[in-house]
Copies of this chain bind each other. A is one copy, B any other.
Amino acid sequence: MPGLVHVVDDDASFRTAIERRLKLSGYDVATYASAQELLDRLPDDSKPGCILLDVRIPGLSGPELQSRLIELGSTVPIVFLTGHADTPTTVRAIKAGAEDFLTKPVSSEQLIDAIERALARQEASRHHRRKLESLRALVATLTPREHQVFDLIVRGKINKQIGHELGTTERTIKAHRHQVMEKMQVRSLAELVSIAERLGLLDADKA
């Protein structure tokens, strides 16, 4: 599956030139004349892709677009490509998670390298997020009561304590516990705790 590169630049001739170069290297390309244009047809996180972004563009600037995307929860990696790079902007962009910060003119090698890294990172983070997402989906199937029981189980409470804490009997907790194990598709307490840990549900009192 070829990567999709979203090129954002206000210079039409530059866009077509880059588009040609990237397509020759086997990438799919979508071009945008402004940050707003990209926001309007927002790239889908679920497909492998990255953004090739100019810093100085009319309207929303490159870094401003980066901030907006982060706020929106997007994880599409960004490669900045600009004519003039000042150090503070570069530092901020990279610290905000940009994959690279290139200056025009850029060699094809540099460009392809950066895009490949961006796509690889996107791929890795997608896999990771998918796993977490599937776990969260399982947790979402729990009823409120089951969720309470789940929380207390993974904190090491025993059924008796949980029953007392929730104002019910040990027998009932046993039933809930069975449901929790069933819905979370685990067969051991260890797996359940492991899931809770990876979802950050145990950080509250372990801090």
Contacts and interface: CB of A to CB of B under 8 A. Distances in A.
Chain A, interface size: which category?
A: 20 to 34
Interface of A: 85, 87, 90-91, 94-95, 100-103, 153-158, 186-191, 193-194, 197-198, 202, 206
Contact of A101 (B87, B153, B194, B198): B87
Contacts of A156: 186-191
Contact of A194 (B91, B95, B157, B197): B197
B197 A153 contact: no
A6 B89 CA distance: 26
B87 A155 contact: no
A53 to B, nearest CB: 15
A104 to B, nearest CB: 11
B187 A194 contact: no
Nearest to A153: B190
A161 to B, nearest CB: 10
